[in-house]
């Protein structure tokens, strides 16, 4: 199946700014993309990075400068048959977790992200369009029903954890050991217990 991985190559992960400068955010974002692509490669999927500008990687790249929603919808309509969209910041994704995304035979399969979002989806129906604005999980369920498609939902902690804020990085260091965890360690970042609980902090 063709799997699109949308990636902001210009100014990725701005909400990590309290912890990482612009160059570091770029490094960590690329490491997360590599982890997602590596997990998909193990599953022999036909991977395509949907990037805002040309990037080097070990699979196909489709460049689309537009915002996420129109870029993904155009990509989906470019494919005959089923297609999938997996966010590039799912640093906790594993082949096992992603396998559960591709298992159901539903018209639309959704992997919820925290806070009402949609972190991954598989589309096996026509006439379904994404809309990532706002409470996208709920909107995608409605859009699937409007397209006459049945909906399956994947209950996965690993796929629910898109990395947006510094606090999200805790689970990267607890639950993974891939490119992202290595990149964080190379930046002298590590787990610490703070007054606010576990956190990823810069070594002094």
User: Residue numbers of the site for a second copy (CB under 8 A)?
Assistant: 96-97, 100, 112, 114-117, 134-135, 137-138, 155-161, 167, 170-171, 174-175, 191, 193, 197-198
State the minimum distance, in angstroms, from the CB of residue 140 to a second copy: 11
User: Which secondary-structure segment (H or E) carries 198?
Assistant: strand 197-202
| Beta strands 46-51; 197-202: pairing state | unpaired
Q: Which is nearer to a second copy, 116 or 127 (CB)?
A: 116
State the minimum distance, in angstroms, from the CB of residue 12 to a second copy: 17
State the minimum distance, in angstroms, from the CB of residue 120 to a second copy: 12
Q: Which is nearer to a second copy, 17 or 96 (CB)?
A: 96
**Nearest alpha carbon to residue 101 among 35, 152, 157, 139:** 152
Q: Which is nearer to a second copy, 49 or 159 (CB)?
A: 159
Q: Which is nearer to a second copy, 109 or 160 (CB)?
A: 160
Crossing angle, helix 22-42 and helix 179-186, to 10 degrees? 160
Question: Max CA-CA distance within the chain?
Answer: 56
Look up residue 123 and give its two tokens: 């589309």
């Amino acid at each position: 199946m063709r799997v699109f991985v949308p990636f902001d190559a210009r100014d990725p992960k701005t909400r990590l700014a309290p912890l990482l400068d612009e160059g570091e955010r770029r490094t960590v974002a690329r490491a997360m993309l590599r982890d997602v692509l590596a997990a998909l490669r193990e599953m022999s999927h036909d991977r395509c990075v949907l990037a805002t500008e040309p990037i080097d990687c070990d699979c196909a790249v489709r460049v689309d400068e537009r915002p996420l929603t129109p870029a993904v919808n155009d990509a989906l309509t470019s494919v005959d048959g089923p297609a999938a969209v997996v966010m590039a910041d799912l640093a906790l994704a594993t082949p096992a977790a992603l396998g559960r995304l591709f298992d159901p035979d539903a018209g639309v399969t959704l992997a919820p992200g925290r806070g009402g979002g949609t972190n991954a989806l598989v589309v096996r129906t026509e006439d379904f369009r994404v809309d990532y604005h706002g409470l996208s999980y709920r909107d995608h369920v409605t859009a699937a029903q409007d397209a006459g498609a049945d909906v399956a939902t994947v209950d996965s902690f690993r796929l629910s954890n898109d990395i947006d804020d510094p606090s999200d990085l805790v689970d990267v260091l607890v639950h993974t050991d891939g490119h992202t965890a290595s990149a964080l360690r190379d930046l002298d970042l590590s787990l610490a217990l703070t007054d606010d609980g576990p956190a990823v902090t810069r070594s002094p």
